[in-house]
Every structure is written in C-alpha cells, then in structure tokens.
Amino acid sequence: MMRMASFTVALMVIAATITIRVDGHEFSHHQEVKILRHLKRLNKPAVKSIKSEDGDVIDCVPITNQPAFDHPLLKHHTMQMRPSFIPESDSTYINEETKTINQVWHKAGECPDNTVPIRRTKKEDLLRPKSMKRFGRKPHHSIPRTTTFDPTKGHQYAIMGARNGKFYGTEVVINLWKPYVQVPDEFSLAQTWIVSGSGSSLNTIEAGWQVYPELYDDNRPRFFVYWTRDGYRRTGCYNLLCSGFVQTSNRYSVGGAYNIVSRYGGTQYDISILIWKDRKTGNWWLRVGKDIIGYWPGKLFTSLGNGATRVEWGGEIVNLKTGGKHTGTDMGSGHFADEGYKKASYVRNLKIVDGTNTLREPKSLYYFADKHNCYNVKTGNAGTSWGIHFFYGGPGRNVKCP
C-alpha cells in the first residue's frame, strides 16, 4: 500500500510539472489553460474569416458579440449605431484631400453587414510579452508625457499640443511612414492624444498608426486605438484586446496593417483622424478618412466626462538603450524635421472641437521634443491648405545622440 501511495504521489508530481513547448517557450499545463481561456475571451465566434496576405486572420464577428460588451460597465449598454452629429469646421480654406489608403486585408475579402472585422490573436502573440497580463497594454516604460515628464522612463516625443482650455475632440491629418524599429519591444508611432486628469486619475483617448513588432509580430505600420481611465495602471488597452472600444464599422480593422506608405522624396500618404464627443450620449466617436469606425463609451471615463484639458499630436518612440546606447529606432520618416516636405514626417490641419461642437484651429500651442538631437519638431510653411502644421522625427542614435 505504501509503495502504491508513493507511486501515485510521484505521478501527480510528474503531471504537475509536464511542460508544453511552443516556439521555444516552455509552460505548464496550468499556463496552457490560462492562455486558451484568454484566447477564447479575445477571439469571438465569427460568421466569416478572411486570411490576409500579411499573415493576419480577420474574423467577421457579429457586432453585438464584440469584446467591448464584456466590460462590466457596458453590460447593459445600449449600442449607438451612428453619432448624433459630426462637428463642422469654421475654416474658410479647403483642406488638401488625403489619398485613399486601404488596409492589406481588404484585398482578400470584406466583412458582411452587422459584423465587425477583428484581427485574430494567436497563442504566439500572448507569449511574446514578458507577461501575458501586459499583452495589449502599454509597457510601464512607455506612458504618455505628463507635465512631470521623466526622461528615464524610456519614451521620447516630438509633439505639438494645446492646453489651458476645454476640448471636446480633435481633427488631424498624419503622414504615414514605415519607420525602422531596432528591437521588438520598442515601438515607433504617430498619433493624437486627448487627455484629462493626472496621475492615477489620468484619462486618455488615443488613435494613430504604429510599428510595434512585439504586439503585431511584424514591422508594418498599423492603425491603432488606445484608452485608459487610471493612468495606465489597470484599465485600457490597444485596439480590441480588452473590452472597451465599441466598433461599428465593417470596413476598418483596428490593428489592421496599411498597404502603402510614404517614400523619401516621393509620393506622400497620410490618414485623417477625427475624434469628438457626442454631447447627447457622452460617447467619444472616431472617424478615419470618411469611415466612422466606432466609439469609446462615456461610461469608461471619469474626468473626460467634462471634456479634455489637453490635446497633443505627434510622434513617440520607446528607447530601451540596448547595449547601453540610445536606440536607432526611427521616429516618423527617420529624418529630422528640418528636412521638410517629402523627407520629414508631417502632421497637418490641426483642429480642436470647442464647446459649440465646432472644429477650430487651436490657440496657445506649445512644442516639445525632449531629445532634440535624436528627434525634433519644427513648424512648417507649406501654405494655407495645410492650416496649422509641423514636421517632426529623426533617426535616433547618431553622432550627437550617442
């Protein structure tokens, strides 16, 4: 009997320590179960799946079954299918039109009405970050700039911003590039931030494009959204990788890759982003180009319910100082702002939404570039059709940025 008991205990120990190997990662059966549960939460049953040439699988998920509605604050949420209004501009000049840019997966098909295209998450995606809990979230060494910016945090910016007012949205046109990123857990992005509060009460709404190999397993520029209500501590995530953002479009995939980018000295491409608060519902809507993508429900936020106190536009990179040296990760085109159009990256036609729901050019603007020998920012003079605009970017490590 004693031998049998010892044998049983030995089997239990062996079973508890069985490991499974996936792409060089070893993890226990318990971890495998956690991974499968996480994948089930993220990958909702689809009515159709599209295999894209870039390796993505796009699942067409019924619009009422998307991840947003798993959020406890949205259990009884009444979905808003369209905004009650779209802000109009008071500008007398005509904006230069943006060229149509499609996402790569569009070549392989389209999602039916009443579904939303969601990029499928794979097991390997969950294994790339240092912690599965941080998957889809901004790493602690990369959080948006505050007035007490600490350059040791590992993030660097070249931006323009507006503050000392109440803002209910923004419209901006952002130049699209494919910057070099030195190591997978660094990233390079261009975006707009809508911000209120500070510290653990920081609320943000964010949208733009980014190259982030650790998150997407490639070096393609991809459209992204982000949000937080507690200074990035426990809430918020990229795209639809947690519950929150409600998608209404069946044409655009948040996290989807773009099929074309600007070339140095050649054709320039950009994306137009409009974010605004629907004053009737409290929801914050997102439009890209002419496509209304969806909204961040007002219930997700605290201080943003009263409007934003700061809006920023521009570039950000993460510098992990691999080998003790500044990263060689590009920001924007990888060229300094001084080089100007077709060489440096630009952000143009900056506008804010004011208290009358009107798009206006912002006043009292400020600039910020914390490491100007690595990345910088400079106002442009390309003409009235570009409105308020600036150039930004840089190559990272160089003679003056060791």
At 144 the pLDDT is 53
150: in domain: yes
- The model's confidence at residue 133, banded by pLDDT at 50, 70 and 90, is confident
42: in domain: no
Q: Which residue range is the domain that position 208 belongs to?
A: 49-393
Give the pLDDT mean for 93-107.
Answer: 86
At 149 the pLDDT is 37
Question: Which phi and psi (to 5°) does residue 385 adopt?
Answer: -65, -15
Give the pLDDT mean for 73-101.
Answer: 89
17: in domain: no
28: in domain: no
At 36 the pLDDT is 92
Give the pLDDT mean for 361-381.
Answer: 94
26: in domain: no
More confident residue, 115 or 16: 115
CA distance 299 to 390: 34
402: in domain: no
Q: Does position 366 have pLDDT exceeding 70, yes or no?
A: yes
Tell me what percent of the residues of the chain surpass a pLDDT of 90: 80
pLDDT tens per residue across span 241-260: 999 999 999 999 999 999 99
Count the Cβ atoms, other than its own, within 10 Å of residue 91.
15
Give the pLDDT mean for 95-123.
Answer: 94
Q: Which residues are catalytic?
A: 206, 316
At 146 the pLDDT is 53
At 355 the pLDDT is 95
Q: Does position 283 have pLDDT exceeding 90, yes or no?
A: yes
At 157 the pLDDT is 97
Number of domains, the chain? 1
At 27 the pLDDT is 58
At 4 the pLDDT is 46
Q: Does position 26 have pLDDT exceeding 90, yes or no?
A: no
Mean pLDDT of the chain: 90
Give the pLDDT mean for 17-26.
Answer: 49
pLDDT tens per residue across span 213-247: 999 999 999 999 999 999 999 999 999 999 999 99
117: in domain: yes
